[in-house]
Structure 1
Amino acid sequence: MTTQRFRAVGGSDGEALARVARGETVALGEVYDRHAEALTRFAIRLVGARDAEDVVQATFVRAAVIARSYDDRAPTARTWLFGIAVRIAQERRRAFARLTNAIRRLGETHQRAVVEVEVSRSDLQQALQELSPEKRAVLVLAEVEGFTCEEIARMLEVPIGTVWTRLHHARKAMRAYFEGDS
């Protein structure tokens, strides 16, 4: 990957991140131009090519949010950014594991025994994509993020009955997908 530089890159990472903390989003672009290529190579090794760009983007979003925490005495933000990327990759792995376990638990509530299957990331993504965006959001919020139906109803500004219905239908669809009834 080659990074094309469109912004003038001057000053230190500490100065740029201090500007980001003050709300100057252009400064984040300067930090991106300096570190995106190395961070992308690292992310590819960490999570694979398919997810690397997501990790890099999430890293820079998080860096913008927590820019005030950067220790500007460090000569470069590289170590700080790589640390953020590692934490994001770990969070993504944990979220995927929670979702995989949640899907497996769906079968436990069912009357008949469910054949254990090893759910691959692509199978899971495909199953989720078959849900409507509304059902997918409710399922992920409940089963992956651990929110209650009441909290989801407040977040989405819908009646709690709507959340229960969407969650029921999403679980049913996921069960059918993984039991081969799709």
Structure 2
Amino acid sequence: MTAQYESTAAPLAGFWIARLMHPVTERHKEWNAAQLPLAYAEGELFDRTRPGLRDEDGRIQFHYLGQPVERAAPVALTEHPLVARGVGRYADSPLLPRDCKGHFPCPEAGIWRASVAEDHPSAPVFNQWHRQAYVARGDHFPEPRAQHLAINAHEVTWQWLGQANESRGDLEYVSLGGSEITAAQS
């Protein structure tokens, strides 16, 4: 849409903004910058009052900016099917990843995910999302050989996913699955 002179009517409904045709002074540039878009109906005369301008400042034109468009509502994230079935849960990822080799004692209580190097022969079978365990601080990580896998403990890297349970004194409150179960901490 071409710019329209101030003495005309809006050929199209929508938002228009006034601009001096030839801004030369700093005051002219400030006037242009201070203008806000105004809504005009089709055929409505443009504002001719020119607030803050004198006749010698020159002519102004109105520039078409368009019609407002309603933004689409944000798409709601659908719940993951494993969460819906109660098999999985949402959790915040730790800020800094904590990794530990499987032959060391657990440095932090919480949920840990196991994996081996991608070039390990058992990687396609072992590196699965469900290879997780809740391990208390100081305990040993689960031994892959106990699961009949040809993987040594020192080949497994455990990544800390977060603390699922809350310790209150000598009791640990297990908070998976909706209801709290209290278990004595050993």
TM-score of the two chains, using structure 2 as the length reference: 0.16
More strand by share: 2
Higher fraction of helix: 1
TM-score by length of 1: 0.17
